[in-house]
Every structure is written in structure tokens, then in C-alpha cells.
Copies of this chain bind each other. A is one copy, B any other.
Amino acid sequence: MYEIACAKVARRPSPFCWRSRMALAHKGFDVETVPAYFTEKDAWPTPNTGTVPIIVDGDRVVGDSWAIAEYLEERYPDRPSLFGGEVGCALARFVQDWVETVMQPGLARLCLLDGLRTLTPADQTYYRNTREPRFGMTIEELVADREARLPAFRASLDPLRRVAERWDFVCGRTPAYADYIIFGTFQWARIVSDFETLAGDDPVQTWRGRMLDLFGGLARCALAYGS
């Protein structure tokens, strides 16, 4: 699996790649990861859509985290299910829509400058040049008032908070792909920043702790901020 790497090559920040790392572990696979850089896309396997993660499974190359999850589910139906059926698959996609329209933009406004600083100098330039036009502002401006934005970000997690107060995982008694989608975004923040995105007594912390414990502490052992 090809995944974005930082200046410190063992640091792997991408929330999309974490979705797939967790999905592969869920299906019981040991994965060889290959560092990928935005500015060295020529080194990525083809065909690709210019984004990572990309997995190479024998002679199959699959890119895009959602496509990878669908591929794994279809190709390895006898291993633990990522979606739990068609309705579960559709609703996992709703969770992804929520993450990408609410949670991820909110967290970007808290930690994106920290994230930028972890990249190689060349990737930092690439990232700025491609993202700042989309935001309509510099990344410094994007995070300038992050302390003031924190309460609204925490409030935006209310649906997840209700889940965490009730059940062990978003998908119920055991985790599945919708958990990994949400977790990937938290894992990005954890890996690039020491900013406290959650209050210490937030039930969401408990859920996140369970996610870090999965698969022998796969995500907990990843090179995080400060390490």
C-alpha cells in the first residue's frame, strides 16, 4: 500500500490512507507500506487517479480509499465484513459524507498548519499551491482563530458523542468501515499535531481509545506527534 509520508519518513499522516490501513487489518492482512510523496507521483503504481492510498494486490492496482474498501469486500467476502451488507455499505458512505463535509473541514481549521509542517519542503510547496486557492486563503489564515473555533468543532461531533455514550463502536458491538472513516481523520490530527481537539472527559475520547487499541495497537504504535 502506497501512503503519504512526511519529512520523517516513518510518519504517515493521511486520513484516507488510515481508512485503508485499518480496513486491510480488519480483513486480516499484513501490509507492506510504501512511502509516497505528492511531488513524486511518477513513482506511484499505475493506473492511479493522482491520489493515495493505492494498493497493489498481486497484479491488481486499486486507488481511492472507498474503491479499496469495496474491492476488499468483493474480493475477500469470506473475511470479516467491512460493511455488513448493502444497507451498511450505503450508510457507511453517509458517514463518509458527514466526515468530509463537517468533521474534516472543522479539524483542518484547527490542525492543517501543523500538518503542513510535517511534510517535506517540496511537498509543503505543492500542498500550499494546490490547497490555498481552494480555501481562498493561506493556511496560516485558515487556522488563525483556532482557539475560538474549538467549541463549535467539538459541538459538531454531537452525533458521534451520542454513539460513544451508548455503544462501543459506531458500527455496533464490533468496529467496521464507518468507524475507520471517522477514526482516520482523528488519527491524522494525532500524528501531525499536539493541539487538544477533544476535551479530556469527552466520551469521544473513549471511542478513539478503543480504535487505537485495535489490531494490536496498530494505530497507537504509529509514529505520532512528538515521537
Contact = CB atoms under 8 A, between A and B. Distances in A.
Interface string A136-180: 000000000000000000000011101100110111110010100
Given A86-B84, A88-B87, A158 B101 contact: yes
A97 B178 CA distance: 15
Contacts of A95: 91, 94
A200 interface: no
B87 A171 contact: yes
A180 B83 CA distance: 21
Contacts of A178: 87, 91, 94
A68 interface: no
Given A84-B85, A98-B98, A90 B162 contact: no
Interface string A71-109: 000000000010111111111111101101110000000
Nearest to A156: B102
B94 A83 contact: no
Shortest 7 CB-CB contacts between residues of A and residues of B: A84-B87, A90-B172, A91-B91, A87-B88, A101-B158, A97-B159, A97-B162
B158 A94 contact: no
Nearest to A165: B97
B102 A158 contact: yes
Nearest to A158: B101
Nearest to A169: B90
A94 B170 contact: yes
Contacts of A90: 167, 169-172
Contacts of A171: 86-87, 90-91
A94 B91 contact: yes
A66 B160 CA distance: 18
Given A84-B86, A85-B85, A86-B84, A170 B101 contact: no
Contact of A87 (B93, B101, B176): B176
A86 B173 contact: yes
Given A84-B87, A85-B85, 6 more contacts: A86-B173, A87-B171, A90-B170, A91-B94, A91-B178, A93-B166
